[in-house]
Amino acid sequence: MIVFRLYDPPFPLFTCRCLGDTVLMDSLIRIIRQNSAISHADLARQLGIAETEVSARISELESDGTILGYHAVINREKWDADTVTAVIDVRITPEREGGFDRIANRIAGFEEVQSVYLMSGGHDLMVVVEGSNLREVASFVADKLSTIEAVLSCATHFRLKTYKENGILHALEEAPERLAVTP
């Protein structure tokens, strides 16, 4: 039986007993997902294990492909505000041999594409695209995406404002109170 410490804000640090490594690894991944910049020393303290053990576990997760990368959540209102983000709903005809995978991987290969997801519902893929302006995104849809033979239709939705991204709230300004209207 392993004893380690779990940390799950806003709750205080507490000690937990478990039967194996699964809970430890789940806790490690949860903490890294919340703050990928956390030091190995802080992780070790929160999990109640040695810093060398944390480093070894993270290396293992990186080498086996569980952790694919790290990124920062950027407030686009403060940095790179002119970048245009679009979510594109794409209907496709799956291929006989490769199904959706080959087409999705082809779409994912475009430089403008940030993410591609296979979806349930009225469309097959959700594609997240970034461009320097509306024209660049429209050109991507018209010249690259819609020309793929398997693509049946595209519906493009442009991001207007971000309220929450990857679990992080963007700083929201308080809306001024409206004055009551009386006759």
Please write the tens of the pLDDT for every residue from 95-148: 888 889 999 999 999 999 999 999 999 999 999 999 999 999 999 999 999 999
**pLDDT per residue as tens digits for the range 49-102:** 999 999 999 999 999 999 999 988 888 888 888 899 999 999 999 988 888 999
Instruction: Please check whether residue 181 lies inside any domain of the structure.
Output: no
Domain co-membership, 59 together with 92: no
pTM of the predicted protein model = 0.75
Rounded CA-CA distance 45/122 in Å is: 47
Clarify whether residues 58 and 91 are in a common domain: no
Q: Is residue 111 part of a domain?
A: yes
Residue 174 resides in a domain: no
Residue of 160, 150, 144, 158 lying closest to 111 (CA atoms): 144
Task: Report whether 170 contacts 164 (CB < 8 A).
Answer: yes
Tell me if 100 is assigned to some domain.
yes
The answer to the question of residue 115 being in a domain is yes
68 occurs within a structural domain: no
* Structural domain range at position 120: 84-160
What is the count of structural domains for the chain?
2
